């Protein structure tokens, strides 16, 4: 079947497709299924001996060291529960430096001497596994022949049963480390950073009179944006299938300029997918809360409730896997790429961050009078110091070849990291900088002018969607992370820079108190110092404006526009000292992340470049030449019978064909060019040579799309993929 025939058949198949019914049962009340496949505290309390349960809960809720003596009892209870759920295998689930999820499945069943089998699952098996580590990215931490890697049970993230039509699997969240104990994953540094941040946050709480504060942890609520396209179109686009984004595609006559998709009525087929997906998420204990249409056609969003940082990160990975699986059931493909379609909004994964504990809740709640809430102001000041001092690290935590297409566009904040505080907090800190804060702007009310409508309370400040790091009432929203990346990286960075800021604050206040200084005076002096030294990072204006680029430079804020610009931030002396001091990464682990970042950048662009060359050469160019031939034949036929023919259509198609041939030749030569022996040389070649060469191919190809006869064009178009669901 020709490329064009595939495209036309895909359109017909979309029209004929009937999605499956959502799988709710008639007698199932909303919420009944929540957590039913999770080995949570309720299940543990029923199945574990009382002493074992208390020991495990002390580790989960209070950060106590895990008692290895409880492992056998937990493993036995977990096995019996999983077998009752239909599980035949167990899997240690970990998060290698691919950014994806990995798992190794083993059967519960073991043969015995009489020829039968026995279900076994010992405590040592629960605690530790041994998958092969040789084929995962390690950035030089391991040689190729050094294959041993260990998984270790993360007791703070609950095990769960993953259902499959042919059998279920008990999944156990784990860390993944080398034989020498160095992190080969994203979870290990997350747990390390959370522990460091919590330790210093608790020091500050003690200074505020909380003698034995509960364990402080970070919380995360990652909002997930994504696109849905019909699977027939997806399979007919080799670029989407292999790279996650369209490397060709002219803008459709109608895009998102009417804003008619944003928060619009959810299409019936998409709503069925959402309901089916949410049910599966609920079963896994993932608290999906909000769903809606996003700005671009075909784009949607789901937002969960806040959870402990490492659980939120685990759930994010599971959410993405679930979305892809359920989308396939509904005849669609779920796209998490940050910029799958050029010219329309891309997708982010906003990381809403807060810190707190079970006793006090979030420590970033200002209350009605934040100027009087010294404890809140101290923790807020810690964020200001951390973001200003380590803006480069925040930027590199969201750096990737895919997110580079999104950052700085109208759907994402700029690469300049700044903080939005809102009118109320900005005013309070301005007062602090001048001496002392004595008032806070009040919340107001809104009279809409319709008697039947109630008076609405208003917040003391607006929100700012152009800010990378914005205060939104009881948390900070980091808007720069990309939709495809793991949230582990930004959470690790935020935790670690917060650990440094909280350590600095606690030490300064402890020293002042020991010296006999009045505590309130010490707090005032501290806040004044921080806002004076680090207030340059606070910006409440339009982050998209050209003036902000100039002003940010004058403030000394870094503008790391690309991944190549950002990656060196990982291996500065200051960065390595920071992560070493708080025992999150050692120097070798930091260098490994830098090398992997370069490698992933080069590999991503390399795949896209080869796809561009292949599709351009085997699909776009042949279609254009066929059109050119038809036009030339028609002109020749007219001339043969003595009719004067207009040659403009031939000239119109010949020029972009020539441009396409030249661009393809340049790209082919660039791919053949030896970039160098180092990861940096390959990444630089990809960013400075391959990307521009690919852009030239696309420019010529997209020009041809608007000229070539529709019945010859081989690729599903934007107006088909974005609007036919």
Q: What is the pLDDT of residues 238-282, one digit of tens each?
A: 999 999 999 999 999 988 888 888 888 999 899 999 999 999 999
Question: What is the reported pTM?
Answer: 0.94
The tokens 């402890």 sit on which residue?
510
E strands, 459-553, are: 469-471, 476-478
Q: Quick one: pLDDT at residue 458?
A: 66
Among 432, 437, 440, which Cα is nearest to 528's? Answer: 432
User: How many CB atoms are located within 10 Å of the residue 290 CB?
Assistant: 10
Distances (CA, A) of 684 to 416, 598, 669, 688, 689: 22, 9, 16, 6, 8
Q: Would you state the structure tokens that stand for residue 119, as one six-digit string?
A: 């279900």
Is 116 a residue whose pLDDT tops 70?
Answer: no
Lowest mean pLDDT among 100-114, 407-421, 457-471, 480-494: 457-471
Strands 419-420 and 469-471: parallel
Beta strands in 288-386 (DSSP E): 288-293, 299-304, 307-308, 332-335, 351-357, 361-362
pLDDT given at position 32 = 82
| Residues 478 and 350: beta-carbon distance below 8 Å | yes
Within 8 A by CB and 6+ apart from 562, the residues are 399, 404, 415, 687
What percent of the chain clears pLDDT 90, i.e. is strictly above it? 69
The whole-angstrom separation of Cα 3 and Cα 12 is: 15
User: Does the pLDDT value for residue 691 go beyond 90?
Assistant: yes
pLDDT value, residue 700: 97
Does the pLDDT at position 30 exceed 70? no
Task: Please provide the DSSP assignment of 575-603 as one string.
Answer: HHHHHHHTTS--HHHHHHHHHHHHHHHHH
Q: Are strands 117-119 and 109-111 parallel, antiparallel or unpaired?
A: antiparallel
pLDDT digits (tens, 9 = 90+) for 501-520: 999 999 999 999 999 999 99
Number of neighbours of residue 607 by Cβ within 10 angstroms: 15
| In contact, 287 and 302? CB cutoff 8 Å | no
171/32: higher pLDDT: 171
3-state SS of the chain: helix, strand, coil percent to 5? 50, 15, 35
Distance CA(600)–CA(516), nearest Å, equals: 54
Helices 374-389, 422-434: crossing angle, 10 deg rounding: 90
Overall average pLDDT of the 416-438 stretch = 87
8 A C-beta contact, residue 384 and residue 424: no
Contact 563, 687 (CB under 8 A): yes
452 pLDDT band, cuts 50/70/90, is: low
Q: In the beta sheet, which residues pair with residue 153?
A: 174
pLDDT digits 0-9 by tens, 174-187:
999 998 889 999 99
Q: Which domains does the chain have, with CATH numbers?
A: 33-185 (3.10.20.70), 189-208+352-550 (no CATH)
The token duo for 308 is 């402990």
CA distance 536 to 553: 11
Contact criterion met (CB below 8 Å) for 377 and 550: no
- Per the CB < 8 A criterion, the answer to whether 311 and 265 are in contact is no
Q: At 44, is the secondary structure helix, strand, or coil?
A: helix
Mean pLDDT computed over 146-167: 90
Kindly give, in sequence order, each residue whose CB lies less than 8 Å from that of residue 451, ignoring residues fewer than 6 positions away.
none
Q: Is the pLDDT of residue 13 over 60?
A: yes
What confidence tens digit (pLDDT) does each residue in 213-226 have? 999 999 999 999 99
Mean pLDDT estimate for the chain = 90
Instruction: Place 21 in a pLDDT band, splitting at 50, 70 and 90.
Output: low
Looking at residue 436, what is its pLDDT? 77
């Amino acid at each position: 079947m020709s490329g064009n025939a595939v495209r036309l058949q895909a359109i017909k198949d979309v029209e004929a497709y009937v999605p499956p019914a959502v799988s709710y049962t008639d007698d199932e009340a909303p919420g009944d299924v929540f957590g039913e496949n999770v080995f949570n505290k309720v299940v543990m309390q029923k199945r574990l001996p009382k002493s074992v349960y208390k020991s495990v809960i002390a580790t989960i809720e209070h950060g106590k060291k895990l008692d290895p003596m409880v492992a056998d009892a937990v493993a036995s209870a977990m096995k019996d529960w999983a077998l009752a759920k239909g599980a035949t295998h167990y899997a240690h689930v970990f998060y290698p430096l691919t950014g994806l999820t990995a798992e190794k499945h083993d059967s519960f069943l073991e043969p015995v001497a009489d020829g039968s089998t026995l279900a076994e699952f010992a405590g040592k098996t629960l605690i530790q596994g041994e998958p092969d580590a040789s084929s995962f990215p390690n950035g030089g931490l391991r040689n190729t022949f050094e294959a041993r890697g260990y998984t270790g049970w993360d007791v703070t993230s609950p095990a769960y049963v993953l259902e499959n039509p042919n059998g279920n699997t008990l999944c156990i969240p784990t860390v993944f480390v080398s034989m020498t104990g160095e992190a080969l994953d994203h979870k290990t540094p997350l747990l390390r950073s959370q522990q460091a941040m919590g330790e210093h946050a608790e020091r500050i709480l003690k200074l505020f009179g909380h003698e034995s504060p509960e364990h402080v942890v970070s919380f995360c609520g990652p909002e997930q944006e994504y696109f849905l396209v019909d699977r027939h179109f997806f399979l007919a686009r080799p670029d989407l299938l292999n790279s996650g984004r369209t490397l060709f595609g002219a803008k459709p006559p109608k895009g998102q300029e009417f804003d008619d998709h944003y928060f619009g009525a959810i299409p019936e087929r998409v709503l069925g997918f959402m309901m089916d997906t949410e049910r599966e998420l609920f079963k896994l204990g993932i608290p999906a809360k909000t769903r809606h249409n996003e700005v671009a056609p075909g784009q949607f969003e789901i937002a969960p409730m806040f959870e402990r940082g490492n659980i939120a990160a685990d759930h994010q990975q599971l959410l993405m896997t679930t979305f892809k699986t359920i989308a396939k059931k509904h005849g669609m493909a779920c796209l998490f790429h940050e910029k799958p379609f050029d010219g329309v909004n891309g997708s982010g994964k906003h990381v809403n961050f807060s810190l707190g504990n079970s006793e006090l809740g979030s420590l970033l709640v200002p209350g009605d009078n934040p100027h009087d809430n010294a404890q809140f102001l101290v923790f807020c000041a810690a964020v200001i110091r951390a973001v200003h001092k380590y803006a480069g690290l925040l930027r590199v935590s969201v750096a990737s070849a895919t997110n580079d297409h999104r950052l700085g566009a109208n759907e994402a904040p700029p690469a300049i990291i700044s903080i939005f505080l809102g009118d109320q907090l900005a005013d309070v800190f301005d007062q602090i900088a001048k001496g002392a804060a004595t008032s806070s702007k009040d919340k107001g009310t809104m009279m809409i002018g319709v008697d039947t409508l109630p008076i609405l309370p208003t917040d003391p400040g607006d929100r700012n969607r152009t800010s990378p790091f914005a205060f939104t009432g009881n948390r900070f929203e980091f808007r720069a992370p990309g939709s495809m990346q793991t949230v582990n990286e930004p959470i690790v960075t935020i935790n670690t820079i917060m650990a440094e800021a909280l350590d600095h604050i606690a030490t300064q206040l402890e020293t002042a108190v020991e010296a006999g200084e009045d505590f309130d005076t010490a707090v005032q002096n501290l806040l004044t110092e921080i806002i004076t030294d680090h207030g340059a990072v606070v910006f409440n204006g339009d982050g998209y404006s050209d003036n902000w680029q100039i002003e940010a430079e004058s403030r000394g804020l870094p503008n790391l526009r690309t991944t190549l610009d950002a990656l060196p931030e990982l291996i500065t002396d200051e960065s390595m000292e920071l992560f070493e001091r708080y025992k999150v990464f050692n120097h070798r682990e930091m260098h490994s992340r830098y090398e992997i970042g370069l490698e992933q950048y080069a590999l991503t662009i390399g795949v896209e470049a080869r796809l561009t060359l292949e599709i351009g050469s085997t699909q776009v160019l042949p279609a254009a030449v066929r059109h050119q031939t038809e036009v030339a034949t028609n002109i020749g036929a007219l001339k043969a019978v003595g009719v004067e023919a207009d040659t403009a259509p031939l000239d119109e198609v010949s020029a972009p064909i020539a441009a396409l041939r030249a661009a393809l030749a340049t790209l082919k030569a660039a791919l053949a060019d030896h970039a160098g022996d180092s990861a940096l040389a390959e990444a630089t070649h990809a960013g400075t040579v391959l990307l521009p060469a690919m852009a030239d191919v696309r420019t010529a190809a997209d020009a041809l799309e608007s000229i070539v006869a529709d019945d010859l064009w081989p690729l599903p178009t934007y107006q088909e993929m974005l609007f036919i669901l």
